[in-house]
């Protein structure tokens, strides 16, 4: 039902970026990735995520970029938490977006179970923003059914995944004009076969092309890109490649260092974006020469104020204690407050009160551990 058609006398579940949500100060565009909001306002419930198409174009139908259906995520979590709905296995085949559910009778589908519930109870104080820890968690074939979203199996939206990116950056066809881009093996440049190529990594044009390939994806709007060496890797035997990064014949380390430098350059040209790398065959072992980044001391105001925990509670996002025990206690306090508010909103006769009370006691113990 559309927002303007609702019967104002009846309570409503307000899905998505409604005028009602906006009037109540919710800006869904501020919700990162798959974050979502559950908020009770009067007799109504706002259930909303950030819905938007991918910023990046889909150029491979087998690896599509999905729309961000943040409100579908918000809705399945609400259904599970408050409506006794369980998502047992994928309700749609792979490659099918959540909109494909429109053709299915979800109530009759065995993939979705509805636990018997006489009434549905939502706490009056409900006002929670949830940010799933995962941004991407996809399989092949990718799916975005309600089952996937309920289990945080998130398809790619603005993330590029490719694996072997050098071949895309330096296509095999360039061999005719630039044999020097390709690996020197037993005294001659290796001619690519079937689109599979090996490279002379010390060649400046090759390095530049690998960087530009990824920069191009960021320019198209992707938030993260993948970087990786070719399958069936063969080492270039030229002298310059030997000398590259001072690793001699140690190609695992050579590739790690090269990839790190590409990532650093991208960090400068496209701040805030991310480069992902597969730990794969030659780079299965972690790099030996990398030093951990210098630990930045948290800003004094961002540390947990132990003497004045109320201050910290009022700024939970700014609280970044290095001491995990303090953070644990702090979370226990937050958890207790949340549980207590749930308890307050439950009628005394509610069957789960005991369980909630036990949890409050547990959280209390954790606070003082």
Q: Which stretch binds Zn ion (CB under 5 A): 53-61, 185-193, 202-210, 315-323?
A: 202-210
Shortest approach of Zn ion to residue 181 CB, angstroms? Answer: 9
Q: Which residue reads 């799916």 in tokens?
A: 143
Q: Which of 154-162, 165-173, 234-242, 319-327 is the region at the interface with Zn ion (rule: CB under 5 A)?
A: 234-242
Q: Any contact of residue 206 with Zn ion (CB under 5 A)?
A: no
How many residues sit close enough to Zn ion to count as binding (CB under 5 A)?
Answer: 5
Residue whose token pair is 């001072």 = 246
241 binds Zn ion (CB under 5 A): yes
* Binding of residue 149 to Zn ion (CB under 5 A): no
What are the start-end ranges of the E strands in the chain?
13-15, 36-41, 44-49, 51-52, 68-69, 85-87, 112-114, 127-130, 184-185, 188-189, 224-227, 274-277
In DSSP terms, 87 is beta-bridged to: 112
Q: Name which of 223, 238, 227 is nearest 169 in CA terms.
A: 227
Interaction between residue 236 and Zn ion (CB under 5 A): yes
Binding segment for Zn ion (CB under 5 A), chosen from 43-51, 110-118, 240-248, 315-323, is 240-248
Q: CB of residue 291 vs Zn ion: minimum separation in angstroms?
A: 27
Query: Given the complex with Zn ion, which of 154 and 258 has the nearer CB atom?
Result: 258
Minimum Å distance from CB 193 to Zn ion? Answer: 19
| The one segment of 27-35, 151-159, 195-203, 326-334 that binds Zn ion by CB under 5 A | 195-203
Per rule CB under 5 A, is residue 200 in the interface with Zn ion?
yes
User: How many H-runs (helices) and E-runs (strands) does the chain carry?
Assistant: 10, 12
Assess whether the previous peptide bond of 141 is cis (omega < 30° from 0): yes
Within 20-49, the residues that bind Zn ion by CB under 5 A are none
Distance, CA of 320 to CA of 302 (rounded, Å)? 6
* Alpha-carbon gap, residue 303 to 316, rounded angstroms: 11
By the criterion CB under 5 A, which residues form the site for Zn ion? Answer: 200, 202, 236, 238, 241
């Amino acid at each position: 039902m559309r927002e303007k058609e609702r019967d104002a006398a009846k309570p409503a579940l307000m899905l998505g970026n409604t005028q009602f949500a906006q009037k109540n100060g919710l800006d869904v565009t501020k919700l990162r990735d798959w974050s979502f909001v559950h908020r009770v306002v009067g007799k109504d419930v706002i259930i909303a995520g950030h819905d938007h198409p991918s910023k990046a174009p889909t150029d491979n139908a087998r690896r599509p970029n999905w729309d961000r259906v943040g409100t579908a995520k918000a809705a399945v979590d609400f259904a599970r938490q408050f409506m006794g709905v369980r998502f047992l296995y994928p309700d749609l085949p792979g490659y099918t977006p959540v909109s494909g559910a429109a053709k299915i009778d979800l109530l009759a589908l065995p993939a979705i179970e509805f636990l018997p519930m006489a009434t549905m109870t939502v706490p009056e104080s409900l006002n929670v923003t949830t940010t799933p820890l995962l941004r991407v968690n996809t399989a092949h074939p990718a799916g975005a059914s309600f089952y996937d979203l309920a289990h945080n199996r998130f398809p790619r939206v603005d993330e590029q995944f490719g694996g072997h990116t050098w071949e895309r950056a330096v296509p095999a066809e360039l061999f005719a004009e630039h044999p020097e881009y390709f690996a020197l093996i037993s005294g001659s440049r290796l001619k690519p076969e079937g689109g599979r190529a090996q490279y002379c990594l010390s060649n400046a044009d090759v390095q530049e092309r690998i960087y530009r390939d990824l920069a191009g994806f960021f320019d198209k709007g992707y938030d993260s890109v993948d970087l990786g060496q070719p399958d069936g890797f063969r080492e270039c035997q030229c002298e310059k490649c030997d000398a590259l990064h001072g690793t001699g014949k140690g190609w695992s380390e050579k590739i790690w260092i090269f990839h790190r430098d590409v990532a650093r350059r991208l960090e400068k040209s496209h701040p805030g974006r991310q480069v992902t790398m597969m730990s794969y065959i030659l780079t299965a072992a972690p790099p030996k020469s990398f030093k951990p980044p210098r630990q930045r001391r948290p800003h004094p105001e961002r540390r947990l104020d132990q003497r004045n925990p109320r201050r910290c509670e009022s700024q939970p996002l700014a609280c970044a204690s290095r001491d995990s025990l303090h953070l644990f206690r702090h979370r226990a306090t937050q958890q207790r407050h949340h549980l207590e508010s749930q308890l307050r909103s439950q009628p005394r006769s509610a069957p789960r009160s005991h369980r909630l009370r036990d949890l409050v006691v547990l959280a209390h113990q954790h606070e003082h551990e």
